[in-house]
Amino acid sequence: MANVTIWNEYRHERNNPDVAKVYPAGMHAVLAEALQSAGHNVRTATLDQPEHGLTEEVLAQTDVLLWWGHAAHHEVQDQIAERVCQRVLQGMGLVVLHSGHFSKPFKKLMGTSCNLKWRCVAEKERLWVVEPSHPIAEGVPEHFELPHEEMYGERFDIPQPDTLVFLSWFPGGEVFRSGCTFTRGLGKIFYFAPGHEEFPTYRHPVIQKVIANAVKWAAPSGGPAPTFGNFQPLEPLP
Amino acid sequence: MANVTIWNEYRHERNNPDVAKVYPAGMHAVLAEALQSAGHNVRTATLDQPEHGLTEEVLAQTDVLLWWGHAAHHEVQDQIAERVCQRVLQGMGLVVLHSGHFSKPFKKLMGTSCNLKWRCVAEKERLWVVEPSHPIAEGVPEHFELPHEEMYGERFDIPQPDTLVFLSWFPGGEVFRSGCTFTRGLGKIFYFAPGHEEFPTYRHPVIQKVIANAVKWAAPSGGPAPTFGNFQPLEPLP
Amino acid sequence: MANVTIWNEYRHERNNPDVAKVYPAGMHAVLAEALQSAGHNVRTATLDQPEHGLTEEVLAQTDVLLWWGHAAHHEVQDQIAERVCQRVLQGMGLVVLHSGHFSKPFKKLMGTSCNLKWRCVAEKERLWVVEPSHPIAEGVPEHFELPHEEMYGERFDIPQPDTLVFLSWFPGGEVFRSGCTFTRGLGKIFYFAPGHEEFPTYRHPVIQKVIANAVKWAAPSGGPAPTFGNFQPLEPLP
Amino acid sequence: MANVTIWNEYRHERNNPDVAKVYPAGMHAVLAEALQSAGHNVRTATLDQPEHGLTEEVLAQTDVLLWWGHAAHHEVQDQIAERVCQRVLQGMGLVVLHSGHFSKPFKKLMGTSCNLKWRCVAEKERLWVVEPSHPIAEGVPEHFELPHEEMYGERFDIPQPDTLVFLSWFPGGEVFRSGCTFTRGLGKIFYFAPGHEEFPTYRHPVIQKVIANAVKWAAPSGGPAPTFGNFQPLEPLP
């Protein structure tokens, strides 16, 4: 069981009636319920809370942070984004969802533009498990479909992932590395592409399973915190 | 808790009094005790048993196989080595210890010579954790020392590991990628270098911790078994 | 300029009139012409030649070997397959084409089943460059199409590639890691999926460009041949 | 032949007589001569020049940038550091030397602290080639020694490298991943650890060979510049 904080921009759900119909209490509420059912200890945080709900204290108590943002990436204060990155480097897991590819923390941790192709016409997305040995693929079928999603297509400008877990297929002719793991400092990161706000993607049982698996995988695993700086020799020097 | 089978060549302990002093009941007995203490369900198997103790039935019931061999790699029947490899591809974890780098199963799974430099003069080995986020590094200090080990040195002729967890330092001037993970098929593999038969390496608490961690990590994680072969289209073809 | 040997099973072209129309002198002849135009020094070898055309002498003079096989993988002598693998480990590049995924040398070098999904109904294949910085992507458009190809689909049972250069999309709903690099020993390996014998894939200018790039990339780069075995200390031992 | 810009902080050589004795005209002058001898077209740039010598125009004409900085990382303007990163993402190669591990561009591109252990007592450093197939190892011996270097030791807080080319051994008991490749965007990056300013490391012929190889490897290879953003379907949507 991990201590999870679900961060959601939480604007579309309040401003767009179509989104509100799908997620009346916000995407974070649906995700919170799913992760609680999976046995995790969950809290939520949103952009418009003081410090975006991500105080030093909250982050210190968070094993894994989920991040969904889209229209207001630029409203996230630099200092808070940096705080999130520092906590990841210290070992907090990070699960970046959908349009979070363009969030400040993800871009800073990747060091690249994280740009991609997109198209939002409610087309089908099919996800394929390409690395079935990975814990994030536990209990996931070899392929599964979302009837309506936003297309995200390659080239996805990320560093080569540690493990490519999922690939996506779109009817318009594109492919996408839709489930990718990374390690930065002591922190484990999973990027997962599905989750456009107008579709009930986070209500899909397989999507919920993947995210619950990712939380379990990304939780700190208790390795040694490195020491840095000037270091005395362990052996007598000649 | 995983079902573990510890495979040991078990010749040195019976033929060499110096080794017998260190491991009177065989290295597998010491490893078995350590892994039982860590909560695993353990059995052992040795070269001179029928089918080397690795019947289809035993392997079918094994989540993770440990492998220690040295002088008698060539006595392992090709058919049994192949059986082990097939089980790994189906999802059984494999922890290859020390001179097991030259075992038939490891070489077949790697596809390379798995050759290296070596020197056996009871020198010190220091292991450094280079990827502290990996579950195999849980509870392991940043560096630790074995007072007497066999030197294994680079170039180690293996494919690039998925994750390099440990690096070793030797006073004679060599370095070695001493803790490496690989994935083959559905199976997770960890190669761990320490463990010369004349030294009580497998009685060392940190070594035992690393191996217990590796067993936990390498156990099958429940991803989908892929289907192969002729495949009907999922979408209507134009 | 590299010394290239193109190995072709060369049976379909002689036994199947439909294939003969596409490649009257064999696929190797078309590939040879393309690679000669790219400045390489090319010879060919086929299954039905003595030693399959792959004598020790031929391999010793080969910088990069191309391999196309399909229906007669089992007719390749184990000894010759092993000879090819040994030369790769010593530094010869290997470019494995299409159904060569099931060839003895590729399977031995990968250590996995190399199995996949397939369907041969002349559907479209679209290839996407996912790692445009790789030398194999030089001069290749971001995506390109083959009007008629055999579908190869995930899960492709290979070890994680060093670099994933191309991903393929198929109209039936599948995706495939269609351009993958590996290193084994001193040898560089590129697997490239397109090339069913009934379609003029190897006459396609972009396909020829990719293969020429792969040859250039896979040629030995002059690193140190490692020494193995018992090794004297480089520093005085305490 | 690549267009190379060697960037040097160039303060130690002017402020510290001991360093001035080793590099009277600056480290960049020694590196420039070595790379010119290797056939490259070389210019230099230093911190105290306007825009640190790294105008948009200079960077646009640079295939590969070398970076040596130490005491004045913080004096590099954020805007110029960002400019360098953007050029790397667009395809410029970057060779980061020694204490450049803490430079703004490297840290931004890695997304991690890039911290490490260090000790400066003029001890020996021995470098081992662990991936001899890599072009950067061309013509380099399996191991070689620098009589006097600064110790850099693990844990080195970097993302997992694409390829680990060199490992270093130090008599005080440490190891270090001293030659690492990365890809970010279209740019290839090589980090190479040796090069403390008080020692004539950059006059060492093997070090010069490695850096010349790295420049050749890191030069843009002509792959497709990706397109990003809203994308029309390539296939008719159902």
pLDDT in tens, A173-204: 999 999 999 999 999 999 999 999 999 999 99
What percent of chain B shows pLDDT beyond 70? Answer: 100
Instruction: Give the separation between CA C142 and CA C128, rounded to whole angstroms.
Output: 6
* Mean of pLDDT values over D142-164: 98
Task: Say which of A172, A185, A233 has its CB closest to residue D172.
Answer: A233
Q: Answer whether A237 sits within 8 Å of D171, measured CB to CB.
A: yes
Residue in A with minimal Cα distance to B235: A171
C168 vs A contacts (CB less than 8 Å)? 175
pLDDT at A220: 98
Instruction: Give the separation between CA D168 and CA D181, rounded to whole angstroms.
Output: 15
CA distance B155 to chain D (A): 5
Domains plus CATH for chain C? 3-112+178-218 (3.40.50.880)
CB-based contact, B118 to chain D, within 8 Å: no
CA distance D25 to chain C (A): 32
pLDDT band at A38 (very low <50, low <70, confident <90, very high): very high
CB-based contact, B133 to chain D, within 8 Å: no
Task: Say which of B115, B121, B184 has its CB closest to residue C237.
Answer: B121
Tell me the pLDDT of chain C (238 aa) as tens digits: 899 999 999 999 999 999 999 999 999 999 999 999 999 999 999 999 999 999 999 999 999 999 999 999 999 999 999 999 999 999 999 999 999 999 999 999 999 999 999 999 999 999 999 999 999 999 999 999 999 999 999 999 999 999 999 999 999 999 999 999 999 999 999 999 999 999 999 999 999 999 999 999 999 999 999 999 999 999 999 8
Task: Say which of A128, A131, A142 has its CB closest to residue C175.
Answer: A128
pLDDT band at D44 (very low <50, low <70, confident <90, very high): very high
**Is pLDDT of A233 > 90?**
yes
pLDDT at B238: 86
Supply the pTM of this predicted model.
0.98
CB-based contact, B167 to chain D, within 8 Å: yes
A189 vs B contacts (CB less than 8 Å)? none
A154 vs C contacts (CB less than 8 Å)? 128-130, 167
CA distance D194 to chain A (A): 17
CB-based contact, D238 to chain C, within 8 Å: no
CB-based contact, C108 to chain A, within 8 Å: no
- CB of D101 within 8 A of CB of D113? no
Residue in A with minimal Cα distance to B132: A223
Per-residue pLDDT reduced to its tens digit, A94-145: 999 999 999 999 999 999 999 999 999 999 999 999 999 999 999 999 999 9
Task: Say which of A173, A185, A227 has its CB closest to residue D233.
Answer: A173
pLDDT at D238: 86
Q: How many A-D residue pairs are in contact by the CB < 8 A criterion?
A: 129
CA distance C177 to chain B (A): 15
Residue in B with minimal Cα distance to A130: B226
CB-based contact, D165 to chain C, within 8 Å: no
A141 vs B contacts (CB less than 8 Å)? 224
Residue in A with minimal Cα distance to C128: A154
Give D180's contacts (C-beta < 8 A, 6+ positions apart). D158, D161, D163, D164, D165, D166, D190, D191
* Mean of pLDDT values over D188-199: 98
pLDDT at A109: 98
Mean pLDDT of chain D: 98
* Mean of pLDDT values over B26-45: 98
CA distance A234 to chain B (A): 10
For the purposes of burial, counting CB atoms within 10 Å of the CB of B86, is it exposed (0-12), middle (13-18) or buried (19 or more)? middle
pLDDT at C37: 97
Tokens of A180: 């990718």
CA distance B86 to chain C (A): 9
Residue in A with minimal Cα distance to B170: A235
D94, D126, D133: best mutation site toward chain C, by most C Cβ within 10 Å? D133
pLDDT at A238: 86
C contact residues 137-156, partner B, Cβ 8 Å cutoff: 151, 153-155
A138 vs B contacts (CB less than 8 Å)? 221-223
Q: Answer whether B132 sits within 8 Å of D155, measured CB to CB.
A: yes
Please provide the DSSP assignment of A57-122 as one string: HHHHT-SEEEEE--TTGGGS-HHHHHHHHHHHHTT-EEEEEGGGGGSHHHHHHH-S----EEEEEE
* Mean of pLDDT values over D151-170: 98
CB-based contact, C160 to chain D, within 8 Å: no
Residue in C with minimal Cα distance to A236: C238
Beta bridge partners of D42: D4
B116, B123, B130, B170: best mutation site toward chain D, by most D Cβ within 10 Å? B130
A132 vs C contacts (CB less than 8 Å)? 155
A87, A90, A162, A221: best mutation site toward chain B, by most B Cβ within 10 Å? A221
- CB of A137 within 8 A of CB of A129? yes
* Mean of pLDDT values over B98-127: 98
